[in-house]
Structure formats: structure tokens, C-alpha cells
Structure 1
Amino acid sequence: MTATVAVIGAGPAGLVVSRWLLSQGFEPSIFEQGSALGGQWTAQPGRSGVWPGMHTNTSRILTAFSDLPLDGDLVFPSGADILDYLHRYARLFDLNSRIRFGARVDALARAGQHWVVSHDGIDERFDKVVVATGRFHTAFVPPVPGLETFAGSAGAITSYEYRGPSAYRDKRVLVAGCAVSALEVAADLAGGGAHHVVVTQRRQRYVLPKYVAGVPSDHRMFTRYGALADEALPPAEIDRQLKEIVVESAGSPEQYGAPRPAESLFAAGVTLNQNYLPAVAEGAITIRPWLHSVDGTAVKFGDGHTEEFDGIVFGTGFMLSLPFLADDVRATLNVDAGKFDTDRHTFHPDLPGLAFMGMWDQSGGYFVPLELQARWIAYTWGGVIPATEDAHQREAVAACRSLGLRKTRMNLAAITFARAAGVEPRLERWPDLRRALLFGPLAPSCFRLDGLDALPDAAARFAREAAAFGAITDNELTQREHSYWSSVERARTRTPRDFREVTVEQRFR
């Protein structure tokens, strides 16, 4: 009898895991509380933080799954383009017939060896469940004294509620935060007719343009080399190398008139944005310390300066919210303590038959690691790769508990899931692609070179995608690349080990 799987959510995570579950003979039923597939990319108020006219800050090649390239000439597609892509992907694998629209899951609980999904007054039993509801739906607003008194005409909202600059034309707007959503909103407002835009932040981050010298920055920042180096080199050296890429590409924020960030890129953080620092340099955006208090329309900042505003937008991140999980499941995962105790954000040994998709926080795009996580789940449940041993799972859960919720990088997540699924490309098998596999983009095609579901045209596809923007045009390492890779090889010689056996702490440091 075919095993049944409930997939909760019809966004990118739910769609890609359903595609790979089908490949292993499972029968997924996709529960979607909205009226359309796409998750965040529907741009529907209340269901999405994507506003009309928004474009990705991840490149076309890395914002796609391995079975379907994202067509078109745009390097950074619009939200509408991504939604159209997800519809095409669903049609390609006949997923629409499996989606139950308007089906809001109210509870998920264990029942012996099965799982019960409760929705619309109905309880349904499934062999397995994948939770793919997304982690960017419950915005976090830090406590600010007097915020409830704010009386500006445009109100105080979160970036999740932001729907473009038109409502702020000729208004004075305060944007709170320094990560991607805050800087995207601030730049959008500055170019969209707001009278005055102020960004309030706790610390100054480095800012990397999403496009430098004709090459998307995610092709440079999120490489296989970066993941291997993270395992072999001291954190200070990783910090230095990443900062070198950022500062050589964009300079340092103080050169644009922003505050000087911490010397360490890891301490300061880095955000991808094309227009923010130029707007600061032109005076279209002013930067202030973190807001101290609010009184009516007046906002007082940490430096004592007070200013009047018509609107406030908080781009201060999101909280992981899984309200439908039964109490015992929540306790096992430690959710109510603000944690998410799992083996690599996916499984828990005490919750057999339950898996999670896309619940980690990272820099960089999610499409590539999501597909790899989906393949790991499908291959494990399908029995075509061995499940992680119980002791190793518990070790991973303990490590996750000690680390807590932390931000990682797209390449670290992708390589972790690729190893778990047994599809990490092997350098020794592809000498003609060595440079591309180390320093080129982590395109989805490179994870169809080796292992299960390898494709005969993957090498040609990956070669094209690695060279698409001119960063990788031959197989000779540049002088810097050779220096970087030599340092990793020396470290591996000093400390021999199988790179496939690195710890969770190293993978998600």
C-alpha cells in the first residue's frame, strides 16, 4: 500500500518536496490555507511580504530548481516572475491536482505510528507529514517605549505589511532595522517619492550590491569553496576572506557617509542591496542610532536627537511560528523556548514520520537548499539512502539545542543537505569543472552531477550557468583562488578527516 504524506504549505518548499516525494512513490496531499499556490510569492496581503514591483535579490540561476530553469533575460526577476515560475513547476509535475486550497491546518498530532491533520473540522490520518509553512510570516517588533502612542498619518507597520512607496509619497518615514527587508524598504521609499527617509539601526552592517562588475554577488559569496573553507580554516580567516570580497566589491559603509561598521564582518553582518548606500551618499537616506522612545509623532533616538515622522516601518525580522503543532510535539522541538531542536533543521528522532522544510534562517536564496533538503527527506523515507543513525541524530539535536536559532549562509545549508542526500558533486570526477565547482555559483544543476537522479546533461548545463556572467570562463584558478584553495588543502593535510563527517556545529557555525 502506498504511503500517504500530508504536505502543509504550497509555497516553494511544499511544491519541491511534493515533487521529490512523488519520485519515490509517495502520495502527497498538499494543504494550502490560501486560494493560490506560491506562498510568499503570491504577494497577497496577509499571506506575503512581497510587494508589487519587488524584485529578487538573488540571481535567476540560483532562484530555480534543477528540473526547470527560470527563463528570461532578467538577472533579478520580479516577484511576479517567480510566481509564474512556481506555477510552471507545479504544472510540470502535475502538483495542482494534489493541492487542497482553502484548507487551513488547525492541529497536527501523533496517533500511534501515524499523524493526524485537523482542518476545517475534519481529522485525517497520514503515514507521514512534511511541515512546509515557511518561517517568514510572523514579524518581530522589538519593544519600544511609547510605540503604542505613535500618531503618524501613515501608521506603524512591519515590512511584511509594506505594499510599496505610494502610501508614503511626500511623507517622513522611519525604517527600523539593518537587515535585508529594512534596507530594501528604505531604498524603495527613497526612490519612490517619500519626503524624508531615516533608517534607525542598532549596528551598521556591511552592504554588498547584488550586482558587481556584471556578476551577481550571490555567485561570488555563496560558493562550494566557502563551505569547504568554513570546515577547514579558523573563523578569523573566513571572516577576512568574506570581508575582502565585500569591501573590494562595494567599499565600506563609512565611505558613503554611513557609520563605520565593526572590523569583523561576522560581528557587523552583511546585507545584500543595490541602492541603499548610494541613497545614503546622496542624502536620500539618513541613518540614526536605534530609537529610544516614541511620543505621538515624535521619535527620540539613542543619541538624544528627536524627529517627527508620518510613518514607521519595522524591518526587524521574523519569529518561527508553528501554532498548529500539538503540545507534546512543541515540547519535543523546544519551540516554546524559542528554539527548534532538530537534526539539521529537518528530522527529530522522537518524531518519526515528521519532517520540516525551510525552517532555518540564512543569507542568500532558498531555492537550491530547499530542493536538496526535499531530496534528503524523500530519499530517506523512500529507503534509497540509509536513515541517519539514532545516536547521530541525537548528537545533532543536542548540538542544535546548544547553538539555538542562528543565521547561516546559503552555501553552508546547501552543502549540508547535499551531503545528507548523497548528491554532493565529487571534484575528482569532474576535473574540467574543478574551478566552477569550487568558485562558481552553487547552481542547482551541479547537484545533478553525482548520486541519485544524476542527469546526463548536468555537466553541460552547469558549465553554461557557471560561465553565464563571465566569472568562470576557464578551468585555471586565479591567483587569489589558488591562494585560498591552497590554504584549505594545507589545513586538510594538517588535520586529515573525511569532509563528509564534519559536525553540525561546523556546518551551521
Structure 2
Amino acid sequence: MTNSERVAIIGAGPSGMAQLRAFESAARAGAEIPELVCFEKQADWGGQWNYTWRTGLDEYGEPVHSSMYRNLWSNGPKEALEFADYTFDEHFGRPISSYPPRPVLWDYIAGRLAKTQVRDLIRFETAVRWVEFDEDREVFRLTSEHLPTGRTTTEEFDRVVVASGHFSFPNVPHFDGIETFPGSVAHAHDFRGAEALAGRDVLVIGSSYSAEDIGSQAFKMGARSVTASYRTAPMGYDWPEGFEERPCVERFEGRTVHFADGTSKEVDAVILCTGYLHKYPFLPAELALSSPNNVYPDGLYRGVLWQGNPRLAYLGAQDQWFTFNMFDAQAWFVRDVILGRIALPDEGERAASIAAWRKRFAEIDSAATEIRFQADYIRDLLECTDYPAFDLDRVVEIFLAWKHDKKADIMGYRDRVYPSVMTGTLAAAHHTPWLDELDDSLERYLEADALLV
């Protein structure tokens, strides 16, 4: 059953799918829910988890959304992102490894919704062009374009949920002399695989997870050398021979890169792992979140509701240790605000809440503190809804073990296994060590594992 409100969900990636799941769960329990319309620019759901060979622009001239690349394997334990209402055991029917490849995680995300009707609520290959709020009538006017036909539609919604993510608009800084570099230069957003880096000297600029993983991929696929350049601090892992870290790039002179410590090196390929921008080109300034990438962006009540207009919500807009189950916690909270199950405090109380969380955020002094901060944030949301409870402290322990494992063996940590927080099932070791596994397909992953069962 539906009530009279209309809700637009922008994006059908993991957070948009979480919002659809939240409402579907309420409807299944007998609640009246709003009319839902989800807009997705791509031809399928999954957001970042949809791999495409395309870079730059897609077949419709739209900026390519996904930053996924071949042979991407999860860089965090699946036990830390598992849905509380749909476990890996339920989906696969047997234990799988703790660090699955992209196609396996995509299959899991899609599988949770496969037996529902929510896919019918998604307008695929439809880009949201503009959203504005009519303050007199308290409605949003949303203009979208169906990309295959070019047909433009404007319609009204009572609420808007922005679930478009913030890993699609690359941050591309300038480096003196880079225009003289004769090799290949690409941002991580346009990286599609490390096979072409075999036998080459590769420079990865940045010390983020992207730099760590793309550098590791280049090494795995046979790069002659990998150099990671850091701005503030090195990643600090015990890298294998042929992989090194150097401080900030000062300038390029042809193939020669000069670093801040006075050293230099000749390289053949440069990959910019320099992060992403919060950018919402379909929103006017008064509705658009503008924030550095951190775990508690300013201006969002409970990390989701836009302070300037709480009829607008953002999912997954913060930096993330937790992912899928945090998106669920946010989506359930937003759902219950929309359904009237959670009373919204006045503007002053919301501002005080934001300030309190921001104060605590400012006191974070380590990765461990930040992980616990995000766990407490999720716990705060879960206490308000009927999302299945799970042991967040145990997830924190898994994150800390993961960090320890990476420090001990950066090229082998993906071979470790953990027990599920949701079911207690111990993950199965993958049949092939990550460093030797060159096939990331679902078929290879499941069929080969099945032979071992």
C-alpha cells in the first residue's frame, strides 16, 4: 500500500538500493509507504560496483560513474560490511572467503533485492538534471532525462534522497611540468586494469586506499617497479622488493619525476590516486553538500538530513570505514522519518546535535578512534529503527585485526579469514592466494571453491 507522498531516490547503487530495501521491508510488514521513484543513470543497479570498460564519457556522452577496474578484490573483510538482514550464508549457501572480488560482491548486493519488486521502481538510463525546492508549496521539482530517447520530464516530489555517492568526480591537482611527461597519465577513476603496466615503471601519486590497491595491482600484474608518492605521511607497509614510497612530487621533467627529498626517478606511467570531490551538479547551492571527505560532514543532521531543508536526505555522503550496513542504518532512519515514526526536532536541536557530533569528530586522533566513532554513529541510528541489531563492537575488532594483518603482510592480508558477525560462520580460505589469482570472475571464484567443499 502507498500513502500520498512521493519520494525521489537519486541513484541505485548500494545506498539507493538500501533505501529501496528499507521501504520494501516496511511494506512487507504491512506499512503504507510513499510512492517511490528511483533514478539511475546506468543501465543496471549496483553503482560503483558496476564495472565498465568505458572511461571519460559513456555511450550517451555522460560522465562515467563507476571507478571499478578488472581484478578488484575487496580491500576490507566482507564480515565488516555484511547486511544484517541478508547474510553471505543466505546468499551463497556456504562459506566463502573474506575478501571476494568485485563480481561476487555485486552478486551479493543484487541478490538481496532480486526476489522483490523494487527493480520496477527504478528508471534506468535516466539522469537527474536539476532539483529545486518550491518553498511556498513545499515540494521539489525534479527534471530528468531518459538518455536513450533524450526525453526530458519534470515532476514533483515531497522528499528527495540523494544516493549518488561521492566517488565519481575526480580531484585532479596540477603538478609542475607534467605536461612534458610523454607516458600515460590517468586518474584512478579511469583506471581499468593493471595488465598494461607489466614491465613498466609506475608512479602512483597518493597514499589513499586507491594508491595502496592500484599500486599492489600493478606489482601483481608484473610492473617493473612501483613508486608511491605521499603528501603528508607514507602508507608505511612492508612493501616487497620493487615497491617503494617517496615524498611529494615537486615536478616532472619529461620522464623524470623529482621528489621533495631531492631524489628523482624515471617512470613510464602515472596514476593519480588523489581522491574525489563532493559534487552534485543537479542541485542548487542551497541544497548541495560541500564538504571535505570526512566521517561527519557538516550540515547533515544524524549524518543524513540536510539541515537547511530536512526534506532532503543524503546517504553515504561521509568517508567510510563501514559501508553496506551503514547505508542500511541510514536508509532505515530516513525511511522512519518519512513515515513519521521518528519525530524530527526543531532546527536549533538539530544544529546542537550536529555540533556535538562535529566536536567529537574533531577530537579523533587515530584510525582506531575513527572506526569506533563511526560504529557509535551507526549504533545511534540503529537504536531508532527496527533494523536487525548486530554486534558493532565485534565489527570494530575485525577492522582492527584487518589493519594489523595489512601491517604484517600487505600482499597477503587478503588470504586471511574471519568469522561472520551475523552468523558466526568462519570464512573459507580462497583456493588460490590473492597474489597468484589472476581471474576475478564469479564463475572461477564459486566453481573452483565448490570443488574444495
Normalization by structure 2: what TM-score? 0.74
How many Å separate the matches in 1 of 2:392 and 2:41? 40
Aligned to 2:140: 115
Aligned to 1:135: 166
> Which of 410, 415, 420 is matched with 2:381 structurally?
420
1:82 is aligned to 2:105: yes
Aligned to 2:185: 156
How many Å separate the matches in 2 of 1:204 and 1:88? 40
Q: Gaps (5+ residues) in structure 1?
A: 207-252, 254-276, 444-460, 471-509
> Which of 288, 294, 306 is matched with 1:348 structurally?
306
Measured after TM superposition, the shift of residue 88 of structure 1 is 1.2
Asked if structure 1 preserves the Cα contact closer than 8 Å seen for 2:298 and 2:354, the reply is no
Query: Quick one: structure 1 residues 9 and 438, their matched pair in 2 at CA, closer, same or farther if it must change by over 3 Å?
Result: closer
- The 5-angstrom pairing of residues 288-307 of structure 1 reads 288-307=246-265
> Which of 321, 333, 343 is matched with 1:386 structurally?
343
Asked if structure 1 preserves the Cα contact closer than 8 Å seen for 2:204 and 2:228, the reply is yes
SS of residue matched to 2:130: strand
Measured after TM superposition, the shift of residue 421 of structure 1 is 4.3
Measured after TM superposition, the shift of residue 133 of structure 1 is 0.2
> Which of 65, 69, 87 is matched with 1:51 structurally?
69
Aligned to 1:182: 211
1:39 is aligned to 2:54: no
Measured after TM superposition, the shift of residue 116 of structure 1 is 1.2
SS of residue matched to 2:287: helix
Aligned to 1:498: none
How many Å separate the matches in 1 of 2:427 and 2:195? 34
Query: Quick one: structure 1 residues 356 and 285, their matched pair in 2 at CA, closer, same or farther if it must change by over 3 Å?
Result: same
**Between 55-64 and 283-292, the greater mean CA deviation after superposition:** 55-64
Query: Quick one: structure 1 residues 462 and 382, their matched pair in 2 at CA, closer, same or farther if it must change by over 3 Å?
Result: farther
Give 2:4's aligned amino acid.
T
How many Å separate the matches in 2 of 1:297 and 1:188? 22
Asked if structure 1 preserves the Cα contact closer than 8 Å seen for 2:379 and 2:392, the reply is no
How many Å separate the matches in 2 of 1:191 and 1:55? 12
Asked if structure 2 preserves the Cα contact closer than 8 Å seen for 1:385 and 1:421, the reply is no
Q: Gaps (5+ residues) in structure 2?
A: 55-63, 146-151, 399-418, 429-453
| Per-residue deviation, residues 193-242 of structure 1 (Å, max 9, x unmatched) | 11111111123356xxxxxxxxxxxxxxxxxxxxxxxxxxxxxxxxxxxx
> Which of 101, 121, 127 is matched with 2:124 structurally?
101
Measured after TM superposition, the shift of residue 305 of structure 1 is 1.7
SS of residue matched to 2:97: coil
1:317 is aligned to 2:287: no
Asked if structure 2 preserves the Cα contact closer than 8 Å seen for 1:129 and 1:354, the reply is yes
Asked if structure 2 preserves the Cα contact closer than 8 Å seen for 1:2 and 1:27, the reply is yes
Measured after TM superposition, the shift of residue 8 of structure 1 is 0.2
How many Å separate the matches in 2 of 1:335 and 1:182? 22
SS of residue matched to 1:465: coil
SS of residue matched to 2:244: strand
Give 2:221's aligned amino acid.
G
Query: Quick one: structure 1 residues 116 and 93, their matched pair in 2 at CA, closer, same or farther if it must change by over 3 Å?
Result: same
Give 2:174's aligned amino acid.
P
SS of residue matched to 2:301: coil
Aligned to 2:81: 63
Give 1:18's aligned amino acid.
L
1:357 is aligned to 2:334: no
Aligned to 1:225: none
Measured after TM superposition, the shift of residue 439 of structure 1 is 4.2
Asked if structure 2 preserves the Cα contact closer than 8 Å seen for 1:178 and 1:201, the reply is yes
Asked if structure 2 preserves the Cα contact closer than 8 Å seen for 1:58 and 1:76, the reply is yes
SS of residue matched to 2:126: coil
Measured after TM superposition, the shift of residue 390 of structure 1 is 2.7
How many Å separate the matches in 2 of 1:39 and 1:173? 29
Asked if structure 2 preserves the Cα contact closer than 8 Å seen for 1:61 and 1:69, the reply is no
Measured after TM superposition, the shift of residue 51 of structure 1 is 1.0
How many Å separate the matches in 1 of 2:272 and 2:264? 18
Aligned to 2:285: 327
| Per-residue deviation, residues 415-467 of structure 1 (Å, max 9, x unmatched) | 32432342599xxxx9xx9xx66445689xxxxxxxxxxxxxxxxx9876357
Q: Identify, as 1 or 2, the structure richer in helix.
A: 1
Measured after TM superposition, the shift of residue 42 of structure 1 is 0.3
Query: Quick one: structure 1 residues 464 and 128, their matched pair in 2 at CA, closer, same or farther if it must change by over 3 Å?
Result: closer
Query: Quick one: structure 1 residues 106 and 75, their matched pair in 2 at CA, closer, same or farther if it must change by over 3 Å?
Result: same
Measured after TM superposition, the shift of residue 469 of structure 1 is 6.5
Aligned to 2:36: 28
Asked if structure 2 preserves the Cα contact closer than 8 Å seen for 1:11 and 1:37, the reply is yes
Measured after TM superposition, the shift of residue 397 of structure 1 is 4.2
Measured after TM superposition, the shift of residue 345 of structure 1 is 2.5
Normalization by structure 1: what TM-score? 0.66
Asked if structure 2 preserves the Cα contact closer than 8 Å seen for 1:292 and 1:301, the reply is yes
Identical aligned residues as a percent: 24
How many Å separate the matches in 2 of 1:370 and 1:348? 16
Query: Quick one: structure 1 residues 307 and 300, their matched pair in 2 at CA, closer, same or farther if it must change by over 3 Å?
Result: same
Aligned to 2:13: 11
Query: Quick one: structure 1 residues 465 and 394, their matched pair in 2 at CA, closer, same or farther if it must change by over 3 Å?
Result: same
SS of residue matched to 1:83: helix
Asked if structure 2 preserves the Cα contact closer than 8 Å seen for 1:368 and 1:414, the reply is no
Give 1:378's aligned amino acid.
R
Give 1:79's aligned amino acid.
R
How many Å separate the matches in 2 of 1:141 and 1:345? 27
Aligned to 1:497: none
Measured after TM superposition, the shift of residue 91 of structure 1 is 1.5
Measured after TM superposition, the shift of residue 77 of structure 1 is 1.2
> Which of 316, 332, 352 is matched with 1:395 structurally?
352
